[in-house]
Structures are given as structure tokens and as C-alpha cells.
Amino acid sequence: MSVQVVYKNSKKIANSKFQAVFTGENFTMSEISSLSKLEITKLKKIINFKNVNSNNIFHLNLDNKIIILIPVKKNFKINDFEILGAKLYEYLKNNSFKKVSISKNFININNFNHFIHGLKIKSYEFNLYKGSQKKNLFLVEALINRSKKDKINIQKFNSIEAGVNFARDLVSEPPNVLFPKEYVNRLLKLRKIGIKVTVYNEAKMKKLGMNSLLGVGKGSSKESYLVTLEYYGNKKNRSKLFSFVGKGVCFDTGGISLKPARFMEEMKYDMAGSAVVSGLMQSLALRKAKINVVGVVGLVENMPGGNAQRPGDIVKSYSGKTIEVLNTDAEGRLVLADALTFTEKKFKPKFIIDLATLTGAIIVSLGEEYAGLFSNNDELSDKLYKVGLEVNEKVWRLPLNKNYDKLINSSIADVQNINYSGGAGSITAAQFLQRFILKNTPWAHLDIAGMAFSKKAANLNPSGATGFGVRLLNQLIDKYYE
């Protein structure tokens, strides 16, 4: 994050040259006058009112001081405050205003906290490999008085921001650095914050019969892993546990069903589902959420090679069901199949939510605006939909239906990993996953292929890794399960 926020007593006069203030919808010359403590006659000489526009942030250069005006509209919701904070970050960056004081004025503390949250979320930069190039660093002084409760709330925002950025860092790392073993090493560090990390290597997975997951990693010289991350914030009721499962394909070449060269480099982000699970677990532990959660990630690299899985291979999954692998590029579902059954069997969770950059088809359907949501449970779906709107990480439900099953029934195994008849690519993928939930546990699948990474910046994200899902699932837990 390239912004550091410090809190100062609001009675202190800001000594920064750059001062930001919120203004109402139709601010007037007298409003600016009282804010800047300059007389109207003097103001009129400095300000060209034609440039003043109450829709956008702008600044006035007054007597050696820069006053940045942040217009707030009456109908603003929490979400709008986050986006406004992000806009201020862009403004500071574009103008190279490196140190700014912000007065809360008439904004209530909750909206102000969301404003700062948006500003910080937007300021993420991944510059680990940029050598000596100058890094952006902005200092924001928030002039507010915080009660004890406010401080706790701000702590909560900080935890979520840390989780979002942990996920973004994992996704941004190049695939030669973040291969499965290195990923495991980073997850082991979560032990320090009270998460129980258990690592299953290939030998252990072989014993358990996770041949669907293992098959995907066969062509790679890197070892595959399954990692569980357990966090108990509700110790009185340890068996009441919720679960999140993530696809962690550290690089997806397609395997023997090799992908075309163009944009193949993007497939480093094929582990984004697992990164969101990891970031979520980190934020829950940091904010000491009062809930028990397990995160399960399957970490593999999908490579071609002499030992790689072939199209036509049949593998026996952890569930006991056999899978005919017709296309080695439909590997995410093979990883998730075993991870889902394992999670359900071992932890008996109250729900399972999985996240995966699963299909290109979901980008055709929903682009970079909504993640695809598939679920066997209306209540869980509705909750996800609602919290999505609240945090601006939107999800859109698509159907599951047993009639799709015939498209993935194999003639020589229990199921095949692609549907050859064409159409409904994201649905048949979800339908495939559902076959590995054996006990009808409430389950939701989020296909985040269009949301995890973007060449373009969005409201709350710079270009690159978004961390989509960490805020969504924090909100889900916060609102309905804590």
C-alpha cells in the first residue's frame, strides 16, 4: 500500500500545505471562504469559478496553501464514500500531493472510515520487482477524534485491507517465484497470527487417494500440495465451522491440451481463488472474528511434459468417482473436486464456498463486472448477492440443473471433465463440481475468472490483481455469521 494514514486530534490545526475538506453538493463562495478563511473579495480574484464543478474533486491554490475540495452528494451510500476515497487517492497521485490533511467536517465517522478504506484499497501497488524506480508514498493525516469503538472499527478495516493485499501480492507474483512449495512457505507464516496450517504433500495425498488433484500436477517438476488453514474464533462451539475452498493453479499452461501463446502469461493468476481464501483467513484472524473457519487450497502447476496427464486418462478421485480427463486444460475442476470432497468429509462444515478462476466462458457471460455464482442453496445465494452490492464485489447467480448432467456423463467413467456438445461452459463446470459435494452441504461456487485480475483499473482497484472476494466474504461473515 502506498498510503500511510495517521490519525490526529481534530482540534490540532493542520500544518500541512495540502488540506482536504468535504463540501456539500452546491457549495458556494461563502462555504469556500469559511473553509479557507479567505475573504470573498480576495477569493474572487483567485478562483475562476468556471472551473469549479461540484461533481469532481478539485483544488484551490490559496496563499501558499492548497485546499482540496471533495464534493459529497446527499444520496451517498457507504459504497460511494469508498469510491470517493479512491478518487481522492487518484487525485493526490495525479497531482503529486504527497502529504495531505483531511478534516472530517460534517461526514459521520462510519462514512469517513469507509472513505479512508477506499483510499487505501485503491492505493495498492506491486513494485517488488521495480528495482530503483521511485515508489509512490503518500501520507494522509486524518483529523478526527476517535472513540475506543472507532479505534476497534478502524482496526477491522486495517485487517481487511491486509487480507486484500495479501491476496493481491500472491496473485501478482510471477509464476517462477510463486510455485506451490513457495506458496506453502508463505502460508506457513500465517501460524504467527493463530492459524493452524496443515500441509499435505504428494505422498500424503496419494495415500488419501486424491488422484484427481494429483493428476493435474503430473507434468510439472514442482510438487503439488493441499493446505488447510484453520482458525477458531468461536472456541465454545468448535464443531460449528464454515469453509472456503480455493483453486490454486500456480500456472496453467493447459497441459497437453496446451493453451495458445497469446496472453498465456495471464495464467499466473489461475491461483487467485486460493489467494482469496488465504487473504480471507488472514483478515479473519487479524480482526479476531468470532467464527470458526477453515480454508482449503489445492496448489498445483499445470504443465505439459513426458510425465503429464493425457487427454483420455481416467483418474479415481478422492470421492471414489472416476473422471475421464478429456481436456487437460479443464484442470481447475479436477483440483477442486478432491479439495471439495475432502473439505466436506474432514470438517463437516456448515457451508462450503469455493472460489476459482474456472472458466473463460464466465468472462463471455459477465465480463469484469460480476463474478458467476452457482449454488445448491437459495439462502446462501441471496446473502452473497446482497453483501456483494454492499462492498461493490458483485455476484450474479447462474443456474444449476440436473439436466445439464448428461453433458458431462462419460461413456466409460462416472464423469468427464468437459462438455463436448458446446454451450453453458461455466454451468457445466459448476455442475461438475457439484458432483463432488456428497452430503448436500450448502455450497456456493464463485467463478472469478473475470474478476481476479484486470488490465484496467476499476473504482476501487488499480490495474492488476484485485483481491476480489476478500471483502465480499468478510462482509458475509460479519453480517450473517459472527
Give the one residue of 169, 173, 230, 331 binding ligand BES; rule: CB under 6 A. Answer: 331
Taking the least distance from each CB to Zn ion, the nearer of 230 and 252 is 252
Q: Does 442 bind ligand BES (CB under 6 A)?
A: no
Q: Does 169 bind ligand BES (CB under 6 A)?
A: no
Residues paired with residue 227 on neighbouring β-strands, in sequence order? 199, 297
Q: Does 332 bind ligand BES (CB under 6 A)?
A: yes
C-alpha dist (Å) from residue 118 to 35, 84, 87, 90, 238: 24, 7, 9, 11, 34
Angle between helices 332-347 and 425-434 (to 10 degrees): 30
- The span from the CA of 89 to the CA of 20, in Å, is 12
Binding mask 229-268 for Zn ion (x = CB under 5 A): --------------------x--x----------------
- The span from the CA of 473 to the CA of 391, in Å, is 10
Give the nearest distance from C-beta 374 to Zn ion in angstroms.
17
Q: Does 3 bind ligand BES (CB under 6 A)?
A: no
Q: Does 344 bind Zn ion (CB under 5 A)?
A: no
- Residues in 265-284 at the binding interface with ligand BES, rule: CB under 6 A: 270
Binding mask 383-422 for ligand BES (x = CB under 6 A): -----------------------------------x----
SS (H, E, C) 98-147: CEEEEECCCCCHHHHHHHHHHHHHHCCCCCCCCCCCCCCCEEEEEECCCC
Binding mask 296-335 for Zn ion (x = CB under 5 A): ---------------------------------x-xx---
Taking the least distance from each CB to ligand BES, the nearer of 8 and 259 is 259
Residues 424 and 412 sit within 8 Å (Cβ to Cβ): no
Q: Which stretch binds ligand BES (CB under 6 A): 17-25, 78-86, 329-337, 347-355?
A: 329-337
3-state SS class at 153: helix
Tell me, what amino acid is at 191?
Answer: R
Q: Which of 247, 333, 435, 471 is catalytic?
A: 333
Give the one residue of 69, 245, 361, 446 binding ligand BES; rule: CB under 6 A. Answer: 361
Burial class (CB in 10 A: 0-12, 13-18, 19+), 397: middle
Taking the least distance from each CB to Zn ion, the nearer of 23 and 220 is 220
Determine whether 333 is an active site residue. yes
C-alpha dist (Å) from residue 40 to 21, 299, 384: 18, 64, 51
C-alpha dist (Å) from residue 408 to 120, 210, 337, 367, 403: 44, 20, 14, 25, 10
Give the one residue of 173, 270, 324, 338 binding Zn ion; rule: CB under 5 A. Answer: 270
Scan for cell 488433484, then name that residue. 213
Give the nearest distance from C-beta 211 to ligand BES in angstroms.
18
Give the one residue of 121, 171, 380, 449 binding ligand BES; rule: CB under 6 A. Answer: 449
Partner in contact with 449, chosen from ligand BES, Zn ion, none, beta carbon below 5 to 8 Å by kind = ligand BES
Burial class (CB in 10 A: 0-12, 13-18, 19+), 105: middle
Q: What are the residues binding ligand BES (CB under 6 A)?
A: 252, 270, 327, 329-332, 357-361, 418, 425, 449
- Catalytic positions, written as ranges: 259, 333
